Amino acid sequence: MADHLDVLITASVEGELAPFISMIPRSTPTVIGKRPFVRGTLFGCDVGALITGPGLVNTAQAMTAVIEQVKPCLIIHTGCAGFFKESGMTMGDIGVADSETDIHLGIESDNTACPEPLPFSILETALGDITGHYPLNHTLGENALGILSRAFAKQDIRIQKGCFITVSTITSSDLGAEKLYTAYSPLMESMEGSAAAHVAHHYHIPFLEIRSASNRVGKRDKTLWDLPLAFERCSLAVSFLIKHISELR
């Protein structure tokens, strides 16, 4: 029988979790499924931090390996993300997902740049059949929004809730960004979110996704990015949620 964990925190690369891991006193690093995994206690919670590797396949493999050994009561998926300018977000702001959509999963359409939904389910859940769009737990999202809004109230940091999209091809043009916003009205774009949501739904584990904006979706200019700021703020946001875990659930 699998061991139990209060909260599993996942992100794709080490930098996204390094500030959070540094907050855990006397943490224990190990490897599960050939992925770095760190376990410890923070604010009285038994937490585990998993570095999955980038992309859908790495995320699904890493999370499955850990969940089969250490069953979490809650998963918080985090990291940096690109934000859409139409959302009103800016660098370092924090997004809370109310849904995740894999935009490359579906049927090619002659009428739009985005695929139509699959005509069959890839996963059956209590929230309905999944065809590429993952609704997320409304209560968890609203509670997280409230906790983070209070925590960052005195700082110039926007906390916003809305839909996230997952891409396998990174958007690198303003035209591409405009098409995606027209189709989905998303807050943020990442490469792992729908995989994390899928695994959480499959194992019936409450799931929350929190990301910090590191760049604007559109023309790719890394001189305008701020990864360290996004890494710091997403880790800080997760630590606030852990500190107020009783309010979150």
213-233: pLDDT as tens digits: 999 999 999 999 999 999 999
63-72: pLDDT as tens digits: 999 999 999 9
Each as own residue / partner, the long-range contacts of residues 177-183 (CB below 8 Å, 24 or more positions apart, any chain) are 177/84, 177/85, 177/216, 177/217, 177/218, 179/113, 179/114, 180/84, 180/103, 180/114, 180/217, 181/84, 181/86, 183/103, 183/112, 183/113, 183/114
Tell whether the torsion through CA atoms of 201, 135, 191 and 47 is positive or negative: negative
Fold of 3-248: Rossmann fold (3.40.50)
CB atoms within 10 A of CB 71: 15
Helix, strand, coil distribution of the chain in percent, nearest 5: 35, 35, 35
150-172: pLDDT as tens digits: 999 999 999 999 999 999 999 99
Is residue 65 within 8 A of residue 35, CB to CB? The reply is: yes
Kindly report the pTM of this predicted structure.
0.96
Spatial separation of the C-alpha atoms in residues 238 and 20, rounded to whole Å = 8
Residue 41 DSSP SS3 = strand
Question: Residue 182: which of 147, 150, 217 has the closest Cα?
Answer: 217
Q: Domain boundaries in the chain?
A: 3-248
129-157: pLDDT as tens digits: 999 999 999 999 999 999 999 999 999 99
| Encoded amino acid at 147, one letter | I
Residue 55, token pair as written in the block: 């992309």
